[in-house]
Amino acid sequence: MNFSTNVVLKELDDGLIILNFSNGHYLETNQLGKTIIEMIKDGKTIQNIFDIISAEYAVDRNIIEDDIKNFIEDLKKKNLFEYD
């Protein structure tokens, strides 16, 4: 999992802005999105992220997995992120 070239991350008090300078696409996240991005930057696998978030939140694991997958797909659609 890698951020696309020309992508800049800007921390906010309650989240993060991810901006691709080459295409102008961006995404503003909440605190959970920021946490997921930090885990990605730390080299965690998608499975590790599922496990960590599932342990922290009292939500059905399938919902967590779907939400994280959708978040990553949104990043990919905006050319902010590359995931094989």
What is the side-by-side strand order in the sheet with 7-12? 7-12, 15-20, 26-29
Question: Could you give the residue ranges of the DSSP H alpha helices within 8-83?
Answer: 31-41, 46-56, 61-77
User: What pTM was estimated for this model as a whole?
Assistant: 0.84
Per-residue pLDDT reduced to its tens digit, 20-76 = 888 899 999 999 999 999 999 899 999 999 999 999 998 899 999 999 999 999 998
One CATH from 3.40.50, 3.40.120, 3.90.930, 3.30.460 for 2-82: 3.90.930
Residue 84 has pLDDT above 80, yes or no: no
Under 8 Å between Cβ of 18 and 75: yes
Under 8 Å between Cβ of 78 and 26: yes
So where are the chain's domains?
Answer: 2-82
Tokens read off for 78: 């905006």
Under 8 Å between Cβ of 80 and 20: yes
